Amino acid sequence: MLPMSVYPNRARTSVQHSLTLCGNCDTFITKYRGLFMATIKEIAALAGVSRGTVDRVLNDRGAVNPETAEKIRKIAKELDYKPNRAGLVLAAQKKRLKLGVILFSTGNPFFQDVLAGINEKAEELAGYNCTVITKQISFGVEAQLQAVKELLAEEVNGIAMTPYNDERIRDCINTLYEQGIPVVTLNTDIENSRRIAYVGSNYTRSGATAAGLLQLMTSGTVNVGIVTGSSNILCHTERIAGFLKTLEPFSDRIRVVDTVEIHDDEVESYEKTTTLLSKHPEINALFFAAGGVYGGCRSVEALGKKKAIRIIAFDLVPTTRQMLENGTIAATICQQPKIQGSNPLSLLFAYLTTGENPEKEYNYVAVDIRIKENI
């Protein structure tokens, strides 16, 4: 006689009959594990609850008694329950999902590469009747909250965003989650929020990498000036934290003399870098922790200090490439902007179609180091 797995319909009939006869859940699971693809209906029968309760537990859709929830998850795990992905994607096509994206619209060309990744993924998702709506905004809490409001008016099902690190934005993300609208943060994260995942660099490690490069590419006494972006953007503060921590063992020869804050604006960067170098003529190294690299480099060149100052920066936008080629920048750290644009949309679509949380909370992109010789 062939095993029941050869006759899936017959196996399921036998299983469903056994559900009404078997009083021992563990015995049932041991006996029938692997013979069929478990369904929510069968998990509900084994757990002694409704299908709606199982759905809420497996998809985190609402409050369920903790003991009941644990029992349901145990049964689902034992039966190796997997959602019917093909059916879920088909259902998503019928629902016509909408995803929103909120990006800072700055003078930093890096975000144009992020946007290119978003647009490529949007074109792919259009084949599943999924629409992507992108909002590019200025720095600030109010602008970001207004963008969220506008996306909700468009009835989006999920949002990918570069969050301003502020309590009001964190509360907004938490409220969205409670309303069934998941958020994935991209390029920069926000602390203590209920966003379902983050896609971007490990900025503490990136800052440490910049410090390591500076240590390897310099000798003697080094006086460092830092030009960074807004302190209300978490990735900027994480980069600097990693940079400073890594330099601690070299404090006998490398010290940070001053830090200036800009807003990814080239003109502002030119002006503040000029002021920084005039105030501290001893500076012989600059760490650009955000955008505004071109403006800062132009200041160095205008002051005739190109050969006297070692510069470490981030990203490989066209103007940074130019400054690498002419020797103004010593090294730059690149961070896969297109992936930072596309992956958040992939995670949101998967979450909304399967109900499963992303496999990883922190989805770090790879970074690579570029110098004049390898661009």
**Same domain, yes or no, for 62 and 211?**
no
In a domain, 372, yes or no: no
Residues shown for the chain: 375
**Same domain, yes or no, for 135 and 177?**
yes
In a domain, 140, yes or no: yes
In a domain, 173, yes or no: yes
Pair 99, 133: CB distance under 8 Å: yes
pLDDT tens for 78-97 read 887 876 555 555 555 566 89
In a domain, 148, yes or no: yes
92 vs 236, which has greater pLDDT? 236
Residue 193's SS3 state is coil
pLDDT tens for 121-140 read 999 999 999 999 999 998 88
**Same domain, yes or no, for 96 and 78?**
no
Q: Which of 35-44, 51-60, 199-208, 212-221 has the lowest mean pLDDT?
A: 35-44
Distances (CA, A) of 71 to 58, 76, 84, 204, 332: 11, 9, 21, 40, 52
Average pLDDT, the chain: 87
The Cα 99–Cα 7 span in angstroms is 41
Pair 13, 3: CB distance under 8 Å: no
CATH of the domain at 185: 3.40.50.2300
Q: Tell me, what's the pLDDT at 92?
A: 55
Q: Structural domain tally of the chain? A: 3
In a domain, 370, yes or no: no
Residue 284's SS3 state is coil
**Same domain, yes or no, for 210 and 311?**
yes
Q: Tell me, what's the pLDDT at 212?
A: 97
Last residue of a domain, one of 82, 101, 116: 82
**Same domain, yes or no, for 312 and 228?**
yes
CATH of the domain at 10: 1.10.260.40
Q: DSSP secondary-structure letter at 62? A: S
For residue 269, what are the domain limits?
Answer: 203-334
